[in-house]
Structure 1
């Protein structure tokens, strides 16, 4: 079954290039499509500290989509891992999800920190982060993930 998903807005500012690390201090604005949305769409969002942004890795070429496994970041010292066991951009539906800090809401503009999407990226959904949707119980992950993510959220400042 196919689905049609329309962008609700786009990322402005932040980074222009999809570099793997140092996303922690990245500040950007999500501008809603003003032909579809009014400021009412973001009403009440400023009462939350964080937001989950769902976006499209639209710069990934169709021939670069991974449907099997690969070594994360091409590192042969990390295990061959299925695309659904990692968060790489070369995913079958090219969807990314990130939890960001809300800096402010102004009209149809949502200002965030820590969004690992480049300027111009289409945003397909925005959801407030609620404690009740966070993981229940212990979160576990393979050791290589900690190594991969060690510098991801650092600031290069």
Structure 2
């Protein structure tokens, strides 16, 4: 393996939810890109409906990392699965990714809906979502993610 990589935030989440919770995500927020970037960095982005956003679970502690198997949300009804089967802050680099809807671009402010990161979250990358780079072939998963995430999105966020 190669050495570590140092990356710096390209922006920050402004607005939206103030504290993380498991369910009922939705609503609007702004991804405010660094003010020292030229506005051309977002030229053409408004033509896309969705983004891929990489961000940091900044309220998590390195002590939260859990390199072992456990049941999702500690629910014994769901199977014990390893760290890389979960999509939460207990991962080694504590990075998250989201696919919010892009509502509008206003200078270096990206207005989005359904970003499951909270106010103040450092953003490390933003890219448009390309359908052609999405999953190929049939997507499969066990039943427990559907059961667990049935209330992940707020009813009014569609």
TM-score band (shorter)?
A: over 0.9
* Structure 2 residue 23 is the aligned partner of structure 1 residue 27: no
Contact 1:53 1:125 in 2 (8 A): yes
Aligned residues: 155
Contact 2:78 2:144 in 1 (8 A): yes
Shift of 1:156: 6.4
Gaps of 5+ in 2: none
Q: 1:27-106, aligned counterparts within 5 Å?
A: 27-35=28-36, 37-106=37-106
Contact 1:15 1:117 in 2 (8 A): yes
Shift of 1:154: 2.6
Contact 2:100 2:115 in 1 (8 A): yes
Shift of 1:72: 0.8
TM-score for both structures, normalised by structure 2: 0.94
Q: Deviations over 1:120-149 (max 9, x none)?
A: 000000010001111111100011110011
- SS of corresponding position for 1:49: coil
Query: Greater strand share, 1 or 2?
Result: 1
Equivalent residue for 1:16?
Answer: 18
Equivalent residue for 1:2?
Answer: 4
Q: Deviations over 1:98-122 (max 9, x none)?
A: 1110000000100000000000000
* Structure 2 residue 137 is the aligned partner of structure 1 residue 137: yes
Gaps of 5+ in 1: none
Contact 1:57 1:89 in 2 (8 A): yes
Shift of 1:153: 1.4
- SS of corresponding position for 1:81: coil
Moved over 3 A (4+): none
